[in-house]
Amino acid sequence: MYLRRKHHRKTIMAKPFPESWEEIIRADVPYDRLLKPVERARLREIIAVLIDEKYWEGCNGLEMSERVQVVIAAQAAVLLLHLDSADYLHNVRTFLVYPAAYVQSQERVGSDGLVHSGSANLGEAWYNGPVVLSWKDTLEASHRPGRGLNVVFHELAHTVDMMTGSTNGTPSLRHRDHYQSWHRTMSEAFEALRNRWASGQRDVIRPYALTNVAEFFAVVTECFFDAPRPLLASHPEVYEHFSRFWGQDPASRQWS
């Protein structure tokens, strides 16, 4: 099975990248222009694999199209550029895409211990299940990089976190000796962020990160890729750990 899949992926990546997809990237994914040529080539390989291997479904009247697939897959590919361990998000089988924010009818227990239902969501990630996204918010985030707000980065950060078997804000780090420093740095940053927002100060990491450690990881991932220079300036040790894990240094890119 593994060898068959590997051969199939090589076949997919060897095909010419469709010009229609290239046009979508030029129009809708300006983040592509921040990348080095070798990263741009790798981005297109990942896009091709994700579109081929995942099941894509439009919900609530959204018609699934090449544009929807390419815009989502391109943003997903940014996270995967140097993260081979994620294996093309092997724990994600399906992308469900709604036209805009959607109502979550299923009950869930929130961080406050209360049961919530009927809340409007921009996205969510299920353990070994689908990733659900709002197309309106996905496209807006893609068109306007640099704000530290990206629903695709956020939800796929959760899926990467889930690959350890639990959602605890600590992904599978590259080396065993990284864990102690990671836990110390993230715990200190979490408490500093809590105190900062409680005192009325602002931060590039928005307060939703304080919901729990899993949301902290997802929100910081948004900042790391989408507002890297403010994150580096405010939380250099956090940035260093994220750079080591994701294998990237987004702050060094030519942000306008």
DSSP summary character for residue 252: G
11 alpha carbon, distance to own chain's centre: 26
Residue 91 is predicted with a pLDDT of 93
End-to-end CA distance of the chain: 45
CA gap 109, 117 in Å, rounded? 9
**b/e per residue 87-111 (b: at least 16 CB within 10 A):** ebbebbeebbbbeeebeeeeeeeee
**Domain of 78: which CATH number?**
3.40.390.10
Q: How far is CA 203 from CA 16, 106, 241, in A?
A: 43, 32, 19
Give me the tens of pLDDT residue by residue for the chain, a chain 256 residues long. Answer: 777 888 888 899 989 999 999 999 999 999 999 999 999 999 999 999 999 999 999 999 999 999 999 999 999 999 999 998 889 999 999 999 999 988 765 545 444 343 344 466 889 998 888 999 999 999 999 999 999 999 999 999 999 999 998 889 999 999 999 999 999 999 999 999 999 999 999 999 999 999 999 999 999 999 999 999 999 999 999 999 999 999 999 999 999 7
| pLDDT confidence of residue 256 | 76
**Do 252 and 232 form a contact (C-beta atoms < 8 A)?**
no
Q: Which pTM value belongs to this model?
A: 0.92
What domain range includes position 73? 2-252
- Total domain count for the chain? 1
* Ramachandran bin of 117, using left for φ above 0, alpha for ψ from -120 to 50, beta for the remaining angles: beta
pLDDT in tens, 48-104: 999 999 999 999 999 999 999 999 999 999 999 999 888 999 999 999 999 998 876
Compute the distance between CA of residue 174 and CA of residue 163 in angstroms, rounded to an integer.
13
* Cβ neighbours around 61 below 10 Å, total: 7
